Structure 1
Amino acid sequence: MTNRGRLADPWPLVALAIWVLALLAYVAFVFVVPRAFGHMSQVGARQGFVYLGAVAGMLLLIFVGSIVLDSAGKIDLRPALIVAAVGLHFLPFAGAFHTRMFIPLGITMAVLGLAGLILGWITDARSAAAAAVITGIIMLIFMATDAGRAARIPRV
């Protein structure tokens, strides 16, 4: 939501409204609606190394990508670079943490980030800002949907 101010009107307000609705859905599914949890697997050293490797790779991609963007005079595209890096860092989590949601989330974020980079390079930095805003909303919707799957609505 940080980049929504870089969008043309009325999109900052539209993005905020959608984000608030997605946040309300997430809060409802997590804190209000009763949820049923299945078996929780133990997190071991392997998962810890996957996590650390994914985060290190993400930070390295952002660092190197920022240098490349800066040297090309395109540092305003950094939000899209961050979106792509965060998306890619989610992909190893699906197998390590047995959570399928990370695959579509990671792919969606990586594709939108890459699209923002390409469109921003060809046109202007608003494409990168739009990719960041849209991806932030989509990520919140993914989280709300995943929380909703575990929701159990009591029968009356």
Structure 2
Amino acid sequence: MTDLPRRQAGLTALYLGVFAAIWFSVPKADPPLRSLLVVASVGALLAAAVGAVLVIRAGRRPAGGRDRAADRRYGLVVAAEVAVGLIGALLLAAAGLTSYLPVLVCAVVGVHFVPLAPVLNDRLLVPLGVAVTLVALAGLVVDLVSGVSAGLVVGTGAGALLLAYAVLALFRARRVA
């Protein structure tokens, strides 16, 4: 038997913890911010590890317990995300604007949370998506009007939001227990 709500919360913490750690590795920062980003990465990986433990403890899905329609919608959303990201990255590279790749990726990731919310039955993914998309916009604006790189703003902001959501998922799993 499986505990689906705890399993889902564990998967959320696992995936978003890993991606938060990746985002924290994007910025090129000087101390003391670099040290804070390393600490945040370790925290994100710890959240991911706790999420993995929850998934293992929750057990396997029952046979035939998959929703094929939801799986198909999930696949379409992710395929669209990858296609938009790849095309955008190629256009930015062709224009010589590769320093804006983190902004593009962050915006695409933020937008993709909105259609995933109903697929994953997690309405809180919508405000997360909006917040991540706003971080992408903030990174672009800060880069254009100051000497601060878009990657620093986007990596730190997106990492912090994903880590916070991973931790929230762990608290939600605890509430289910």
Q: Smaller-chain TM-score range? A: 0.7 to 0.9
- Equivalent residues of 1:22, 1:137 under 8 A apart: no
Letter in 1 for 2:38: L
Runs of 4+ residues over 3 Å off in structure 1: 21-32, 121-125
How far did residue 46 of structure 1 move? 2.1
State the TM-score, normalizing by the size of structure 1: 0.75
Map of 2:26 onto structure 1:
3
Structure 2: unaligned runs, 5 residues or longer: 1-23
Map of 1:117 onto structure 2:
140
CA change 1:123–1:77 in 2 (3 A) is: farther
- Equivalent residues of 1:90, 1:103 under 8 A apart: yes
How far did residue 29 of structure 1 move? 6.9
Mapped partners of 2:168, 2:133: distance in 1? 19
- Equivalent residues of 2:70, 2:119 under 8 A apart: yes
CA change 1:19–1:90 in 2 (3 A) is: same
Letter in 2 for 1:99: D
Q: Secondary structure at the match of 1:110?
A: helix
**1:53 pairs with 2:70:** no
CA change 1:43–1:99 in 2 (3 A) is: farther
Find the partner of 1:81 among 95, 104, 110: 104
Q: In proportion to residue count, which structure has more helix?
A: 2
Map of 1:127 onto structure 2:
150
Letter in 2 for 1:64: I
- 1:64-103 → structure 2 map (5 Å cutoff): 64-103=87-126
Identity of aligned residues (%): 25
- Equivalent residues of 2:99, 2:150 under 8 A apart: no
Letter in 2 for 1:12: R
Map of 1:19 onto structure 2:
41
Q: Secondary structure at the match of 1:150?
A: helix
- Equivalent residues of 1:113, 1:128 under 8 A apart: no
Mapped partners of 1:130, 1:72: distance in 2? 22
Structure 1: unaligned runs, 5 residues or longer: none
Question: How many pairs align?
Answer: 147
How far did residue 92 of structure 1 move? 1.1
